[in-house]
Amino acid sequence: MTSDTNILDDLDARVASLLATHDPATTDAREFLGARFDTGLAWVQFPEGHGGLGLPQTYQARVDAALAAAGAPGPAVERNGIGLGMAAPTIAAIGTTEQKRKFLRPLYTGEHIYCQLFSEPGAGSDLAAVATRAVRDGADWIVDGQKVWTSGAQNAQLAILVARTDPSVPKHAGLTYFLCDMSDPGIEIRPLRQITGEAEFNEVFLSGVRIPDENRLGGEGKGWHVATTTLNNERVAIGSGAPREGGLIGKVAQAWRRQPNLRDPAMHDQLLRFWVEAEVTRLTGERLRQQLAAGQPGPEGSAMKLAFAGLAQRISGFDIELHGESGLRYDDWTMRQQEAVEFTGREPGYRYLRAKGNSIEGGTSEILRNVIAERVLGLPPEHRVDKNVAWKDMAR
């Protein structure tokens, strides 16, 4: 108890000192976030000197609540979800001291927005089959290939990239993980229009892109391990990020309360079931996040993401039904690129269409069921005929 009290007292003192020296009302948001990072209050579970204090993640909620109550700005999750939810914990878990020093602070302040160069036209659910090549050239790597479904590439300064560096070994063993500068002249970004009308993601072509070896994250040929760390963090971030009555259930509950004309007694029990399921999912996700070491979640996050996707799609369908004919309206079909992803934005028609992507992005529901079966429940794995075949000898 004494130790916990000392930790809480120290956190409260750090918050008070930060607010005293950087008044949120008069301090530029980026400057404030930089000071918060330097104080160790960005991610308390991260290493000291790199935005954290080496504490259990359970203490982060206290810091966030105190700073929010003071009107302090938070990191731009809506613009940099990939950086904050995926790149940062991976760098913290696997990066060198110099990489943590170089990349974590500008990521947290929003100076660096990240995108994810993982999936390819022939390597989506089977990510280990990526064909983008990285060839060593002195102190650099030369990268050529194509990526697809890259959310936010048009706004990103940096990307997390998986490329094949050794085609002579089985597919999982020949990958290496890099941090890629998106301003390189060899990068071409083309928007892809989705079912909602907007171009939230892109296809990205890499031609002779030069990446210094110092931007390699993890060992050469160890990219699958690093990518798994990233994907596990992504699934936790997607599946457990909403506050109480947040996300789609919040939109539906608000409509139910504010517009009595929408209420149908037959829908009452269904709404309550969705509300309870959303709350159970939220609490389970919160417990999972609190148990994690910094940047090192396990396969259990796949269950959270799977539950989130199915629930979001069912609630969005209920949302349409609740609004009747007006729920079918859609205000803007023009193709456009946005700075932030709107999971719950605009009208019910948008939310219904956008939720269809929840069972694809961050790992398809089919793949996540395999992960849960094999790595959580310990069931026999599916037979894989290419497990010990060199990538260069695989049929493609």
Q: Indicate which residues carry an active-site annotation.
A: 234
Question: For strand 201-212 and strand 140-151, is the pairing parallel, antiparallel, or unpaired?
Answer: antiparallel
DSSP designation for 74: -
Which pair of tokens denotes residue 377?
């429940």
State CA 362 to chain mean position distance. 8
- Classify residue 18 by burial, with Cβ atoms within 10 Å: 0-12, 13-18, 19+: buried
Q: Say if CB 85 and CB 52 are below 8 A apart.
A: no
Say if strands 158-164 and 175-181 run parallel, antiparallel, or are unpaired.
antiparallel
Asked if residue 382 lies in contact with residue 370, where contact means CB atoms within 8 angstroms, the answer is yes
Task: Give the contacts of 117 (CB within 8 A, at least 6 positions apart).
Answer: 132, 147, 150, 153, 159, 160, 161, 162, 180, 204, 206
Distance CA 353, CA 330 (A): 10
Question: Per-residue DSSP letters for 99-117?
Answer: HHHHHHHHHHHTSS-EEEE
Residues 6+ apart with CB under 8 A from 21: 35
Q: What is the number of alpha carbons within 13 Å of residue 104 lying toward its C-beta?
A: 29
Q: Is 206 helix (H, G, I), strand (E, B) or coil?
A: strand
